Amino acid sequence: MRLLFRLAMVLLLLLTTGARADSFNFSFVSQRFTVTGTFYGNLVSPGVYFINGLTGTINPGKEPPLNELNYVYPGEFNGVLNNDNLLFTKQPYVDSFGISFFAGSIVYYDLIHDQFGYAVLSCGSSPCTGSNILRTPGDLEVSLIPEPPSLLLMASGVLVLGVGMRRMAWGRFA
């Protein structure tokens, strides 16, 4: 019985150490609009994630699907707006290069943090230079979504503690 229990624990630990991509819920709130959704990324260094996908909406906006967010790869957008798509687990969550996305087919957004705080830079016409870029300040909230292996590990730990406490209780009253 003990051998079976040990084998089960080893198997459980092996299942929880697989490669994973992390997910983060985010919400940017300004006086003009709200952007909410989920970032998907991979850990590149402690506390730093490369965002390689996102889902979400911008409101108020146009009717779906024109209000749905789409991912923009890192690099230049029309020669001006640069993004590195890095997310940090501590404040500030993004840097001055930011995380970029677009809604519909024409409006490009870059979620940044600079000396003035969090903001979304938007550009609805080409080229994205000077007066074509609108800066909208706001507040950004980011929270990690626990992945299934962590939940499995936590549940197994609670189960082991429960079994151990039950054995102790039976030993005292037997």
What six digits make up the tokens of 11? Answer: 């198997």
- 166 with 130, same domain? no
pLDDT tens column, 33-66: 999 999 999 999 999 999 988 888 888 766 566 5
Provide the number of structural domains found in the chain.
2
- 165 with 116, same domain? no
Confidence (pLDDT) at 106? 63
- 122 with 38, same domain? yes
Predicted TM-score (pTM) above 0.75: no
- 168 with 119, same domain? no
Lowest mean pLDDT among 15-29, 71-85, 103-117: 71-85
Confidence (pLDDT) at 133? 84
Q: Which residues contact 41 (CB under 8 A, 6 or more apart)?
A: 21, 22, 23, 24, 49, 50, 51, 52, 53, 85, 87
- 99 with 157, same domain? no
pLDDT tens column, 106-165: 678 889 999 999 999 888 776 777 777 889 999 999 998 876 665 566 666 667 766 766
- 34 with 63, same domain? yes
What six digits make up the tokens of 163? Answer: 């079994």
- 126 with 162, same domain? no
Contact 52, 42 (CB under 8 A): yes
- 141 with 154, same domain? no
Residue-number span of the structural domain to which 161 is assigned: 2-17+149-173
Confidence (pLDDT) at 129? 73
Higher-scoring residue by pLDDT: 98, 5: 98
- 35 with 6, same domain? no
Confidence (pLDDT) at 107? 75
- 118 with 136, same domain? yes
> Is the per-residue pLDDT at 6 higher than 80?
no
Question: Long-range contacts: 113-122, Cβ < 8 Å, 24+?
Answer: 113/140, 118/28, 118/92, 118/94, 120/28, 120/30, 120/33, 120/35, 121/81
